[in-house]
Amino acid sequence: METRIQILAVVASGLLFLVVLELVRRRRLLERYALLWLLSAWVLLALAIWQGLLSDLAKAIGVIYPPNALFLIAFGFVLLLLLHFSLAVSRLTDQTKVLAQRLALLEERESRGVPEDRAEQEREEAIELVAHSPRSK
Amino acid sequence: MSPRPSYLVIVPAYNEAGCVGDVVRSVRMNQPDFDLLVIDDGSTDGTAEVATAAGARVLRMPFNLGIGGAVQAGFVYALENNYDYMLQVDGDGQHLATEIPKLLRAMDENPSLDMVCGSRFLSAEHGYPAPISRRTGIHLFAFLLSRIIGHRVSDPTSGFRLYNRRGIALFARDYPHDYPEVEAVVMLHFHRLRMREVPVNMRPRGTGRSSIGSGKSFYYMVKVLLAIFIGLARRRPTPEPGDEAPVAAAHNI
């Protein structure tokens, strides 16, 4: 591989790795979301440094110019990360919906002035009902 | 349990201040024994105040959740307050309170039903005016659903529905997000719950705007089709008690 592009690749993936670590250290990024980033940075760094591995890999998947294989792998990680975020967004959407519903139900109950013990009893009944709701086969 | 069944009427409304008052009054006049809950899905036009003034309880969503999330809150309310039946009447004045007895009668006549749905296309003099873009979608869904569940469904997007306890329990647990009525039919089928349609008359919309504008119809159609077909591929459409939560913090790649 050409030296210039190798240096660029090493610096870029090394920088990515450090930035992600620093963000986790400052508690700006949760470990849960950092893992995939760290993994991608590691793999890219390893491939950038270890030239033989990259050219072997490129040959194996039929890529003539090895740096292109590096970009292909990087692109794969980007897709994976995007999917990861779509999952996270879906989860948050669902959690937000449930929170909004609970809030609305609580506010309505409070505006009716339902005493706490009765509210508790209603909740227990509801849980009981869910436990006996229809099951699919 | 009380000897007489208890009924909850939910009226989901998003920016329907011009209509929701009449809907509430007409339901109260026709069915004075029923409890009435307006679900204000984050309206900005005073829908909640109009509904309260008309004498309804109001569930105020802190922001706009979309029809699925709003109606599901109604199911949770019905479940937690131990209602025997829940009836959905849309807040735009399309569904006529005078038609409610038709749904009640169908449920009474056949206690094995878990949901009764008012269909505007079964009634003799329907002539229901809907924009062509929406009608196409409705008929496509009607055709597909009829194939999937094995008996005829004529109006799968109708939200004029009566549910019993089993229906309430199912949908309190899981209710689709967008354009939920169509998917709900599939869910019922997979949970071995039974539904039937009865012919009702509906009125064209009053003021306010449908949650589905004609421009969005196509988008929703594709989305719901995706939901239906993916729903078919699920081994169990909804999580059962004791299963892993459908969305948990641990779920990630």
The predicted structure's pLDDT at residue A6: 84
CB contact under 8 A, A94 and B246: yes
Residue B111 neighbours by CB distance under 10 Å: 8
The predicted structure's pLDDT at residue B31: 93
| DSSP code at position A29 | S
pLDDT for residue B52 is more than 90: yes
- CA B40 from chain centre, in angstroms, equals 15
Q: How far apart are the first and last CA of chain A?
A: 59
Residues B183-194 have a mean pLDDT of 88
Q: By a Cβ cutoff of 8 Å, what residues of chain B touch chain A?
A: 37, 39, 57-63, 65, 69, 72-73, 76-77, 79-82, 165-166, 169-170, 172-173, 177, 190-193, 236-238, 240-241, 246-249, 251-253
CA of A1, closest CA in chain B: separation in Å? 32
B-chain residues within 8 Å CB-CB of A36?
Answer: 253
Predicted confidence band at A107 (pLDDT cuts at 50, 70, 90)? very high
Pick the CATH number of B7-233 from 3.10.310.30, 1.10.150.20, 1.10.357.10, 3.90.550.10: 3.90.550.10
CA-based Rg of chain A, rounded to a whole angstrom?
Answer: 26
CA of A20, closest CA in chain B: separation in Å? 18
pLDDT for residue A115 is more than 70: no
CA distance B89 to B203: 12
Please calculate the CA angle B159-B95-B208 and round it to the nearest 5 degrees: 90
For residue range A80-106, what is the model confidence (pLDDT) as tens digits?
999 999 999 999 998 999 999 999 999
B-chain residues within 8 Å CB-CB of A110?
Answer: none
Q: By a Cβ cutoff of 8 Å, what residues of chain A touch chain B?
A: 32, 36, 80, 83-84, 87-88, 90-91, 94-95, 97, 100-101, 103-105, 107-108, 112, 122-123, 125-126, 129-137
Q: How many Cβ contacts (< 8 angstroms) between chains A and B?
A: 96
pLDDT for residue B59 is more than 90: yes
The predicted structure's pLDDT at residue B245: 65
CB contact under 8 A, A130 and B173: yes
Residues B45-53 have a mean pLDDT of 92
Residues B125-147 have a mean pLDDT of 75
A-chain residues within 8 Å CB-CB of B173?
Answer: 130, 133
CB contact under 8 A, A91 and B166: no
B10 — alpha (psi -120 to 50), left (phi > 0) or beta?
A: beta
The predicted structure's pLDDT at residue B64: 93
CB contact under 8 A, B253 and A88: no
pLDDT for residue A136 is more than 50: no
For residue range A8-65, what is the model confidence (pLDDT) as tens digits?
889 999 999 999 999 999 989 888 888 889 998 999 899 888 878 888 888 998 888 8
Residues A111-121 have a mean pLDDT of 69
Q: Which DSSP string corresponds to B71-96?
A: HHHHHHHHHHTT-SEEEE--TTS-B-
Nearest C-alpha neighbor of A39 from the set A63, A82, A1, A74:
A74
Query: Percent of chain B scored above 90 by pLDDT?
Result: 50
Give phi and psi for B96, each to the nearest 5. -95, 130
The predicted structure's pLDDT at residue B250: 60
- A105 → chain B, closest CA residue: B59
- A122 → chain B, closest CA residue: B80
CA-based Rg of chain B, rounded to a whole angstrom?
Answer: 17
CB contact under 8 A, A136 and B58: no
- Check residues B74 and B248 and name the one with the higher pLDDT: B74
| DSSP code at position B99 | G
Please calculate the CA angle A17-A90-B39 and round it to the nearest 5 degrees: 145
Residues B188-215 have a mean pLDDT of 75
CA distance A77 to A71: 10
Predicted confidence band at B125 (pLDDT cuts at 50, 70, 90)? low
Residues B74-93 have a mean pLDDT of 94
CB contact under 8 A, B170 and A135: no
pTM: 0.80
Predicted confidence band at B246 (pLDDT cuts at 50, 70, 90)? low
Cβ proximity of B19 and B206 under 8 Å: yes
pLDDT for residue B243 is more than 90: no
CB contact under 8 A, A129 and B79: yes
Predicted confidence band at A117 (pLDDT cuts at 50, 70, 90)? low
| DSSP code at position B212 | S
| DSSP code at position B251 | -
